Amino acid sequence: MELHDEVAVRLAGLEQRYTAGRRAIVEVLERSDRPLTVPEMIDAADPGSLPVSSAYRNLVVLLDAGVVHRVAGTDDHGRFELAEDLAGHHHHLLCDSCGIVADISAYPRLERALADAARMARDETGFEVTGHRIDLLGQCEACRA
């Protein structure tokens, strides 16, 4: 199913409409190569398409519908991205200095090792692992310079 059709279905499940403001958020996050703060989303949107007054309200609805996901960083700023089932599986690099969060691909070798670890955890504890998230902490190239 196409992204915007899936978003509309999820919103309809909550008796919400896929408004222009919500579409602007989804489009900005779809184009981004990393999770964004709300001010970054507003700056990246077409002028006038995402007013500050409605950006936060629309984001809450998209969170409730499972369209977007909040990514915790190393600073106090909330960052958001499309939900993994819409955008694809990946991990994050978090800079301890500036707080930026960057996406990194989920490499096959790492994913196999994590699947093995999940099986071991299940065998030892009986806990059924259904997914994982990995955040690697350090300093981005700009902060190291």
Model confidence pLDDT, tens digit, residues 63-118: 999 999 999 888 888 899 999 999 999 999 999 999 999 999 888 998 999 899 99
* Cβ count near 130 (within 10 Å): 6
Task: For residue 92, count CB atoms less than 10 angstroms from its CB and return exposed for 0-12, middle for 13-18, buried for 19 or more.
Answer: buried
pLDDT mean over 119-145: 93
Confidence (pLDDT) at 48: 86
Where along the chain do its domains lie?
A: 1-88, 89-145
| Tens-digit pLDDT profile for residues 19-37 | 999 999 999 999 999 999 9
Same fold, 1-88 and 89-145: no
pLDDT score of 126 more than 90: yes
**How far apart are the C-alpha atoms of 81 and 90, rounded to whole Å?**
11
DSSP secondary structure string for all residues of 80-124? EEE-HHHH--EEEEEETTT--EEEEE--HHHHHHHHHHHHHHHHH
Confidence (pLDDT) at 133: 87
Bridge partners of residue 93, in order along the sequence: 102, 136
Confidence (pLDDT) at 53: 86
* Cβ count near 87 (within 10 Å): 16
pLDDT band at 7 (very low <50, low <70, confident <90, very high): very high
Q: Which of the following CATH numbers is that of domain 1-88: 1.20.1090.10, 3.30.530.20, 1.10.10.10, 1.10.260.40?
A: 1.10.10.10
Confidence (pLDDT) at 125: 96
pLDDT greater at residue 16 or residue 105: 16
Q: Name the strand (E) or helix (H) holding 138.
A: strand 135-138
pLDDT greater at residue 131 or residue 24: 24
What is the CA angle 67-69-70, rounded to 5?
A: 150
Cα 23 → chain centroid? 16
pLDDT mean over 38-54: 91
Range 89-145 has CATH code 3.30.1490.190: yes
